[in-house]
Amino acid sequence: MVDAFNFIKWHYMFHGGRVLFFSILVFALRLGQSFIQCFQAIWIWLSCFMMYTLFKRKRYDIFVALVTVTCFGSLSMRGLIDSVFWYTASVIFFWPILPMTIGFLLWKKGLTNKKTTFGCALAFFIAAFSEEQWAVAIICAFVILFVWDVISKDVVKAKNVVYISGVTGALIELLAPGNFVRVDETSFYDMGFISKILFKTPLIFDVNFDLSNGVEILLLGFTVLVVISALMIGRKRKILIATNIIISLLLLLVGFVNINASVKLCVRIVYAVFIAFEIGASCIL
């Protein structure tokens, strides 16, 4: 226990402020590989469920459920290996989604009592105290929400408590002495802002849209089809049908070209049936 706390203190002072979820990971790993695998699976499921709960428009919203699952399914295997399956990366990049989503869900329902306000403030504090990008994202979200509150004249004490809590968590993370030590030792941080974007953007597309991601691209394409259908039903029937058929055929080509040859024939048949169903459905709409 003492060694764990000493490591966390050293990490904050000399390597970075990502110590909150690191602390959870250290103690979770002490319980064994099986525990952390089960814990991770439950955490991922809860993250997806909370995102669905946040965005659903009715009690059972199939479309939002589809989009939520597609977002996670769009992660390539390379992306999963370097994020979800690598526990150190998962705890700082993926785990904060859950507390952040809970925070926005409580905010959406309304800060009507002290328990809700405390829960919302705590959720945003945890999310902002996780990693630099999440900290900046929450600060930017708070700026937008605050400006909207001022414009709509809806500035209340409970919201200010949440703002202060989230910003405090972000500052604890961003101003950690270890962050500045790491910046001095890494050449990437010497690059300009535009140079960083130009350097990272191709890597993001390469990981998520390379030739090994036929199934993920299929899921994204199917979501696009659903959105197009929802927007155009009852308006321009012929354009809708033509658009769906073209995209479906492109997805069919992408799938057969990109799915690895080791994939069993039955899986390919299911894929072909799925595409045939989509083309047929587009003609019926």
C-alpha distances out from residue 15 to 165, 200, 273, 279, Å: 24, 22, 52, 53
- pLDDT, greater one: 1 or 224: 1
The pLDDT tens digits of the residues spanning 81-120 come to 777 788 888 888 889 999 999 999 999 888 888 999 999 9
Beta carbons within 10 angstroms of residue 25's beta carbon: 18
The pLDDT assigned to 280 comes to 52
How is 81-92 classified by DSSP, letter by letter?
HHTTSSHHHHHH
Q: Which of 89, 108, 11 is nearest to 51 (CA)?
A: 108
74 pLDDT above the threshold of 70? no
CA atoms of 113 and 100, how far apart (whole Å): 19
C-alpha distances out from residue 4 to 1, 10, 26, 30, 209, Å: 5, 10, 7, 11, 39
Q: Is the dihedral of CA 178, 91, 131, 195 positive or negative?
A: positive
The pLDDT assigned to 9 comes to 84
The pLDDT assigned to 282 comes to 47
The pLDDT tens digits of the residues spanning 4-58 come to 778 888 888 888 888 888 888 888 888 888 888 888 888 888 888 898 888 888 8
The pLDDT assigned to 59 comes to 80
Amino acid identity, position 85: F
C-alpha distances out from residue 130 to 45, 189, 264, Å: 19, 20, 41
The pLDDT tens digits of the residues spanning 187-242 come to 666 677 677 777 777 776 666 655 555 555 565 666 666 666 666 555 556 665 66
Asked if 121 contacts 165 with a C-beta cutoff of 8 angstroms, the reply is yes
CA atoms of 170 and 183, how far apart (whole Å): 18
The pLDDT assigned to 163 comes to 94
Average pLDDT, the chain: 76
Give the mean pLDDT of 68-87. 71
In the three-class reduction of DSSP (H, G, I as helix; E, B as strand; rest coil), residue 15 is classed as coil
Give the mean pLDDT of 150-165. 87
Q: Is 230 exposed, middle or buried (0-12, 13-18, 19+ CB in 10 A)?
A: exposed
Give the mean pLDDT of 117-135. 92
Asked if 226 contacts 92 with a C-beta cutoff of 8 angstroms, the reply is no
